């Protein structure tokens, strides 16, 4: 249940107040709860109780109606929802996710206190934003996590360079945006994370190398093959310099094939994929889902060149590998089946 609807159902705000606060939240890109607090529509303790009630509904601990009833009773008695829950025995203190939410409540309390203080240290506030982002991510609330990561990064981008917390916030927000298909934003965030890590850790650190690979993948998804190839070559060179096993080079090698394929440099893509396949066979054996994925990429490469029969053979080979691993009904197998059907139809029409 949305926070505003919960507050209205519990009798804490009116329909007009809800509509106005939602409009201000959208216009200012400010969290709904912050708008309520800053405009004195409800108090801090009431807001915290409502947030706890919303969380417990999301976790299936309380039904909508029970949460509304308990929240209204807590406010009428001028006590927190947490105290009422303890009194009624509805919630056990051992609930792990609820403990995370208790941490969120404490951080929100700290933030409220600091934002109303004339001695506010913005750097400390930034760290609170970052911690709130990580806590909301723990409980699966990506919307709120994104809000607080964004607030932290807005300050970090202005004042700080070479900060690992800023790098982690950028990486975490990039994962959220990737799930939303915001490819350009993902690239920008990962570029920032890479810059931070390079300044603090250098190029030959595992976190830095992984960020290079993440950035290259995002650049490919955003259509920038040239930049991706630069980052992938650097990542491969760093891993080789560290003397890492080939399995550690596999992801960058396969992505290098994707980059060359996007550039239409098909011979280079073919070489990169074949090297990746050799690495995968050595690490996982020839009959593995990893090998099947790379064989399917080779099929895509042939398909791009209108070599339909060769592509079809690769897709069928990839399907056989997946079936041999017992994953013949996974999403990758379904995608392969569609490609096989399309190319088979194309071949029959051309014949």
Would you place residue 51 in the very low, low, confident or very high pLDDT band (cuts 50, 70, 90)?
A: confident
131: Cα within 13 Å, side-chain hemisphere:
18
Pick the range with the lowest mean pLDDT from 47-51, 173-177, 294-298. Answer: 47-51
Q: Is the pLDDT of residue 148 over 70?
A: yes
* CATH topology agreement for domains 161-283 and 285-351: yes
Interatomic CA distance for residues 305 and 301, integer angstroms: 7
Q: Which of residues 163 and 318 earns the better pLDDT score?
A: 318
Interatomic CA distance for residues 337 and 332, integer angstroms: 9
Supply the CATH classification number for the domain 161-283.
1.25.40.10
Given a contact cutoff of 8 angstroms between Cβ atoms, the answer to whether 71 and 10 are in contact is yes
Would you place residue 113 in the very low, low, confident or very high pLDDT band (cuts 50, 70, 90)?
A: low
For the chain, the average pLDDT equals 84
Q: Is the pLDDT of residue 172 over 60?
A: yes
Interatomic CA distance for residues 280 and 154, integer angstroms: 41
Residue 37, both tokens: 């607090």
Would you place residue 176 in the very low, low, confident or very high pLDDT band (cuts 50, 70, 90)?
A: very high
Interatomic CA distance for residues 139 and 161, integer angstroms: 29
* High-pLDDT (> 70) share of the chain, %: 87
pLDDT of residue 351: 45
Locus of tokens 């950028």: 170
The CATH T-level fold of domain 285-351 is: 1.25.40
pLDDT of residue 144: 82
Residue 28: CB atoms within 10 A of its CB come to 11
Residue-wise pLDDT for 95-110, tens only, equals 556 677 667 767 776 7
- For residues 57, 18, 142, 208, the Cα torsion angle rounded to the nearest 10 degrees is -150
User: pTM (2 decimals)?
Assistant: 0.70
Residue-wise pLDDT for 182-240, tens only, equals 999 999 999 999 999 999 999 999 999 999 999 999 999 999 999 999 999 999 999 99
Residue-wise pLDDT for 251-308, tens only, equals 999 999 999 999 999 999 999 999 999 999 999 998 899 999 999 999 999 999 999 9
Which among 192, 190, 180 is positioned nearest to 216, based on CA atoms? 190
Q: For the chain, what are the domain ranges?
A: 161-283, 285-351
pLDDT of residue 63: 79
Interatomic CA distance for residues 37 and 103, integer angstroms: 19
Q: Which of 121-125, 162-166, 237-241 has the highest mean pLDDT?
A: 237-241
Given a contact cutoff of 8 angstroms between Cβ atoms, the answer to whether 49 and 71 are in contact is yes
pLDDT of residue 97: 61
Q: Report the Cα–Cα distance between both ends of the chain, in Å, rounded.
A: 57
Interatomic CA distance for residues 38 and 113, integer angstroms: 12
Q: What is the mean pLDDT of residues 65-74?
A: 80
Interatomic CA distance for residues 129 and 30, integer angstroms: 13
Residue 171, both tokens: 């990486």
Q: Is the pLDDT of residue 6 over 80?
A: no
pLDDT of residue 94: 44
């Amino acid at each position: 249940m949305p926070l505003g609807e919960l507050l209205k159902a519990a009798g804490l705000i009116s329909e007009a107040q809800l509509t106005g606060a939602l409009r201000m939240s959208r216009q200012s890109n400010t969290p709904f709860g912050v708008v309520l607090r800053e405009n004195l529509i409800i108090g801090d303790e009431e807001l915290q109780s409502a947030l706890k009630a919303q969380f417990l509904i999301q976790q299936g601990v309380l039904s909508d109606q029970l949460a509304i009833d308990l929240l209204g009773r807590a406010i009428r008695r001028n006590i927190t929802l947490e105290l009422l829950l303890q009194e009624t025995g509805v919630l056990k203190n051992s609930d792990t996710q609820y403990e995370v939410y208790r941490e969120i409540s404490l951080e929100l309390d700290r933030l409220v206190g600091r934002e109303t203080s004339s001695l506010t240290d913005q750097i400390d506030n930034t760290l609170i934003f970052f911690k709130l982002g990580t806590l909301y991510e723990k409980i699966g609330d990506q919307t709120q996590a994104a809000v607080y990561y964004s607030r932290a990064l807005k300050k970090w981008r202005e004042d700080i360079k070479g900060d690992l917390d800023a790098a982690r916030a950028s990486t975490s927000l990039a994962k959220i945006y990737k799930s939303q298909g915001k490819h350009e934003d993902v690239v920008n965030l990962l570029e920032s994370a890479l810059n931070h890590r390079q300044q603090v850790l250098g190029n030959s650190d595992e976190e830095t190398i992984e960020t290079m690979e993440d950035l290259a993948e995002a650049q490919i998804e955003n259509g920038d093959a040239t930049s991706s190839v630069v980052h992938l070559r650097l990542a491969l060179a760093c891993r080789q310099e560290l003397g890492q096993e080939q399995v550690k080079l596999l992801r960058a090698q396969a992505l290098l094939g994707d980059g060359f394929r996007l550039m239409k440099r098909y011979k280079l893509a073919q070489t990169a994929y074949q090297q990746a396949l050799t690495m995968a066979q050595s690490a996982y054996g020839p009959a593995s889902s990893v090998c099947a994925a790379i064989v399917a990429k080779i099929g895509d490469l042939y398909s791009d060149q209108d070599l339909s029969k060769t592509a079809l053979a690769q897709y069928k080979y990839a399907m056989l590998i997946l079936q041999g691993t017992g994953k013949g009904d996974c999403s990758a197998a379904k995608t392969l089946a569609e490609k096989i059907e399309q190319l088979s139809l194309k071949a029959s029409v051309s014949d």
